[in-house]
Amino acid sequence: MEKRKGRKKRRGAFIFCCVAPATILMFLFMIMPTFNVFKMSLYKWGGFSAEKTFVGIENFKKLAADEKFLRSMQNSILIIVVVTVITMALAIVFAAVLSRQKLKGQGFFRVVFYIPNILSIVVISAIFSAIYDQRDGLLNTFIYLFRPVGENGEGLIAWLGNQKLVIWAIVIALIWQAIGYYMVMYMASMASVPESIYESASIEGAGGITQFFTMTLPLIWSNIRTTLTFFIISTINLSFMLVKAMTGGGPDGASDVFLNYMYSQAYTNSSYGYGMAIGVVVFIFSFALSGIVNAVTKRETLEF
Amino acid sequence: MNKKHNYSKVMTQFLVYLALIIFAVTIVVPVAWVFMASLKGNAEFYGRSPWALPEGLNFQNFIDAFEKANMGTYMVNSIIVTILALGFLLLIAIPAAYVLARYRFKGSKILNVVFMAGLFVNVNYIVVPIFLMLVDGDTFLRGHGMPPMLLNNLIMLALIYASTHLPFTVYLLSGFFASIPKDYEEAAFVDGSGYVRTMATIMIPMARPAVITIILFNFLAFWNEYIISMTLMTKDKFKTLPVGLMNLVSAQKASTNYGQLYAGLVIVMLPTLILYMLVQRRLTQGMSLGGLKG
């Protein structure tokens, strides 16, 4: 009896020692700050003065009329839609080609395509700054071969300095960064589809493209759905990190995305309450969007 | 009929190869170009094609980057933070993941839910509240006659790195622990092994593949991270490499020290590229283990 009690006590102590540090850290640096985002969004609090006044949903009302915020929202939605569609399509096609057609150099392509994913976003932004540089950029030196620049600088293409082009420059960098990761992911899930299914389909005369649409795609559909949800959330984050490092939102807010606007309000501008209200809106937006995408892409699952 | 079919097959094959090769070129060429540009003298960046090869092996840029642009200090900071954060993370996440996967106790369900929910909280949202919390803490310390030590503290930064990566790491590890048959532990308990010994000598060694995977992913994440570091390390001497590199990028816009900039780029990405070359198979296979991106 005594012995059993001692064992129970030791079990409790063991569990506590294992779980407590992680729980404390989670509480301090994840749960508390998240709670504070929501709480602070209801306060007017600016600068380093300790004065916080409760204003209810005032920040959100102001937000709805803030043109800069609406612009950053527009940019973000454009980025989410375009980057998601193109990245997903290319990643799935590349994965299907590399895992179905026994291409030479399969391993090489997989290794190379994954490289952007191991680079810091700061590195990526510096590389793309070199690519987009208006006079000596790696991209423009090609374009100028066909479209020479005039003496007075006429015809220079400022990818990052032009209000219309800059957002597309960001989109391209984001796609470049993401394809490899998702391709590798889809290759892994395609590898789990048994070869025998494809063999019987080939015998019945289904070609590669038919096989792709009637078999590969439906069979990995649940995997695509999950990645889609995460892709939306991660694009919101990555677009902020890239914009922050590459353009800072410029020129004149043309490449601002909503988390970048949040950061500049909350940190650079010290309007904490207002910045956190932006955070709340983006947080809810990203979850709502994921939920919608999840519902829209629901299909009857096909199993092998 | 057959001939036509063959023709279109060759055509698609060709187009597919073309697309793959073009994409591969857009990755390899810019990265290789940065290495090349890091060896150029500053004068070589003006009035010349960016594609021109460097005139010689000019390592002056690296010396300048280390000495003039402080990259040496930043690198030491990055190494310290990365190692500490990995240490904290492993020490804290492995036992927690094991217990959460294996033991039922009061509150275990809630804790599992909390760690799962943590997967959806991104640091970009909470970095400013964390900053404010540390500012408050420092004010409190100062008010009680102690030196402020929460902001601009590498150990603190490492602790926050570890904390923000706990949900992903615990999720991945506890999934792995749950897949190990219970027989091993039961046999150990029968032999009289205690809880700690069973975990340390039997379960953790069995989880080695998962542990290696999380070390790889988190090394890359910590080494490359810059949003938290930029926000919390306000003094120059505590900055980490990516933040230092960002400063170089913005300084270069004004004073055009391209050579130093590209040398800095090489310094930041070389460790990750070397690691990738050594373990790329493990890294890309490890993804199917977690299947998530933070």
Q: What is the pLDDT of residue B1?
A: 44
Optimal mutation site among B51, B280, B284, interface A, most CBs of chain A within 10 A: B284
* Of A249, A213, A245, A207, the residue nearest A71 (C-alpha): A249
Quickly count: other Cβ atoms within 10 Å of residue B234's Cβ: 11
- CB-closest option in B159, B164, B166 to A22: B166
- CB-closest option in B20, B124, B167 to A109: B20
**What angle, rounded to 10 degrees, do the helices at A272-296 and A221-246 form?**
150
Complex ipTM value: 0.89
Residues of chain A in contact with residue B269, where contact means CB-CB under 8 angstroms, are: 119-120, 123
For the segment B220-238, the average pLDDT, to the nearest whole number, is 94
Looking at residue A46, the DSSP 8-state letter turns out to be B
What pTM was estimated for this model as a whole?
Answer: 0.90
Report all structural domains of chain B as residue ranges with CATH numbers, in order of start. 58-290 (1.10.3720.10)
Contact status, residue A121 vs residue B24, Cβ threshold 8 Å: no
pLDDT at B23 over 90: yes
CA distance A16 to B96: 9
CA distance B103 to A10: 13
Amino acid at A63: L
Is residue A23 assigned to a domain? Answer: no
For the segment A81-97, the average pLDDT, to the nearest whole number, is 93
Q: What is the pLDDT of residue A227?
A: 87
For the segment B150-162, the average pLDDT, to the nearest whole number, is 95
Asked if A131 lies within 8 A of B30 by C-beta distance, the reply is yes
pLDDT band at A147; cut points 50, 70, 90: confident
- Assign residue A126 the CATH number of its domain: 1.10.3720.10
pLDDT in tens, A34-72: 999 999 999 888 755 567 888 888 889 988 999 999 999
Least confident stretch, A205-209, A231-235, B103-107, B169-173: A205-209
CA distance A151 to A290: 50
A33 at the B interface (CB within 8 A)?
yes
A8-17 CB contacts, 8 Å cutoff, 24+ apart: A10/B194, A10/B195, A11/B103, A11/B195, A12/B105, A14/B99, A14/B195, A14/B196, A15/B99, A15/B103, A15/B105, A17/B95
Least confident stretch, A22-36, B46-60, B72-86: B46-60
pLDDT band at A302; cut points 50, 70, 90: low
Asked if B288 lies within 8 A of A120 by C-beta distance, the reply is no
Q: What is the pLDDT of residue B293?
A: 41
pLDDT at B207 over 70: yes
pLDDT band at B294; cut points 50, 70, 90: very low
Q: What is the pLDDT of residue A53?
A: 83
Q: What is the pLDDT of residue A261?
A: 92
Is residue A86 assigned to a domain? Answer: yes
pLDDT at B222 over 50: yes
> What range does the domain containing A63 cover?
51-296
What DSSP assignment string belongs to chain B? -HHHHHHHHHHHHHHHHHHHHHHHHHHHHHHHHHHHHTTS-GGGGSSS-TTSPPSS--THHHHHHHHTS-HHHHHHHHHHHHHHHHHHHHHHHHHHHHHHHH---TTHHHHHHHHHHHTT--HHHHHHHHHHHHHHHHHHHHHTT----STT-HHHHHHHHHHHTHHHHHHHHHHHHHTS-THHHHHHHHTT--HHHIIIIIIHHHTHHHHHHHHHHHHHHHHH--HHHHHH--SGGG--HHHHHHHHHHHHHHH--HHHHHHHHHHHHHHHHHHHHHHHHHHHHHHHHH----
pLDDT in tens, A90-124: 999 999 888 877 677 788 898 999 999 999 999 99
Q: What is the pLDDT of residue A201?
A: 82
A283 at the B interface (CB within 8 A)?
yes
Q: How many residues does chain B have?
A: 294
What DSSP assignment string belongs to A215-270? IIHHHTHHHHHHHHHHHHHHHHHHHHHHHHHHTTT-STTTT--HHHHHHIIIIIS-
Angle A225-A227-A229 from CA coordinates, rounded to 5°: 75
pLDDT in tens, A198-209: 888 888 877 777
Q: What is the pLDDT of residue A35?
A: 94
pLDDT at B12 over 90: no
Q: What is the pLDDT of residue B157?
A: 96
Looking at residue A214, the DSSP 8-state letter turns out to be I
Asked if B37 lies within 8 A of A130 by C-beta distance, the reply is yes
Optimal mutation site among A7, A16, A118, A141, interface B, most CBs of chain B within 10 A: A118
Is residue A46 assigned to a domain? Answer: no
Contact status, residue B253 vs residue A246, Cβ threshold 8 Å: no
pLDDT at B229 over 90: yes
Residues of chain B in contact with residue A208, where contact means CB-CB under 8 angstroms, are: 12
Q: What is the pLDDT of residue B292?
A: 43
Residues of chain B in contact with residue A12, where contact means CB-CB under 8 angstroms, are: 105
Asked if B245 lies within 8 A of A122 by C-beta distance, the reply is yes
Please give, rounded to a whole number of angstroms, the shortest distance from the CA of B24 to a CA of chain A.
6
Q: How many domains does chain A have?
A: 1
pLDDT at A1 over 60: no
Query: Which chain A residue shows the shortest CA-CA distance from B16?
Result: A97
Is residue A126 assigned to a domain? Answer: yes
Please state, rounded to an integer, the average pLDDT across all residues of chain B. 88
pLDDT in tens, B81-114: 999 999 999 999 999 999 999 999 988 999 999 9
pLDDT in tens, A6-22: 888 889 999 999 999 99
Asked if B100 lies within 8 A of A19 by C-beta distance, the reply is yes
Query: Which chain A residue shows the shortest CA-CA distance from B44?
Result: A136
Higher pLDDT among residues B29 and A48, named by residue: B29
Residues of chain B in contact with residue A40, where contact means CB-CB under 8 angstroms, are: 129
Of chain A residues 60-89, which have a CB less than 8 A from chain B? none
CA distance B161 to B227: 11
Contact status, residue B170 vs residue B97, Cβ threshold 8 Å: yes
A24 at the B interface (CB within 8 A)?
no
Is residue A10 assigned to a domain? Answer: no
Query: Which chain B residue shows the shortest CA-CA distance from A192?
Result: B288
pLDDT band at A4; cut points 50, 70, 90: confident
Question: A155, exposed or middle or buried, with CB in 10 Å at 0-12, 13-18, 19+?
Answer: exposed
Q: What is the pLDDT of residue A192?
A: 79
Q: What is the pLDDT of residue A176?
A: 96
First to last CA, chain A: 54
Q: What is the pLDDT of residue B291?
A: 45
pLDDT at A170 over 70: yes
Asked if A120 lies within 8 A of B275 by C-beta distance, the reply is no
Is residue A181 assigned to a domain? Answer: yes
Q: What is the pLDDT of residue A230?
A: 84
Is residue A198 assigned to a domain? Answer: yes
For the segment B8-16, the average pLDDT, to the nearest whole number, is 80
Bridge partner list, A43: A54
Optimal mutation site among A9, A17, A30, A132, interface B, most CBs of chain B within 10 A: A30
Residues of chain B in contact with residue A186, where contact means CB-CB under 8 angstroms, are: none
pLDDT band at B227; cut points 50, 70, 90: very high
